[in-house]
């Protein structure tokens, strides 16, 4: 396998940003709460890679949510 064929362990910034925008569009002002809820579910299951993904997604959702309400 070459480096290009190996799966990514963490999503690219662009993919994470797109997922965060979709989450905000889907849940509106409840996006942060829903993401935190899912993060706590993943923490209970114990998958470190999933927990890291949801932590990164939560930080991006919070960042975008703040930008959205800043204006």
Which domain range does residue 41 map to? 13-70
Q: Does 22 map to a domain?
A: yes
pLDDT digits 0-9 by tens, 14-64 = 999 999 999 999 999 899 999 999 999 999 988 899 999 999 999 999 999
Residue 19 lies in a domain: yes
5: in domain = no
pTM of the model: 0.80
Q: Indicate whether 7 belongs to any domain.
A: no
Number of domains in the chain: 1
Residue 3 belongs to a domain: no
Burial of 31 from C-beta contacts in 10 A (0-12 / 13-18 / 19+): buried
Domain for residue 49, yes or no? Answer: yes
Give yes or no for a contact between 39 and 55, defined as CB atoms under 8 angstroms apart.
Answer: yes
User: Which ranges constitute the DSSP H helices of the chain?
Assistant: 13-27, 31-45, 48-70
Residue at 31 is within a domain: yes
List CB contacts of 27: < 8 A, sequence separation 6 or more.
Answer: 33, 34
Asked whether residue 56 is assigned to any structural domain, the reply reads: yes
């Amino acid at each position: 396998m070459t480096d290009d064929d190996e799966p990514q362990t963490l999503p690219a910034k662009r993919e994470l940003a797109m997922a965060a925008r979709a989450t905000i569009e889907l849940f509106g002002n409840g996006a942060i709460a829903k993401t935190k809820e899912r993060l706590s579910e993943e923490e209970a299951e114990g998958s470190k890679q999933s927990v890291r993904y949801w932590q990164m997604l939560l930080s991006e959702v919070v960042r975008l949510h703040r930008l959205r309400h800043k204006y």
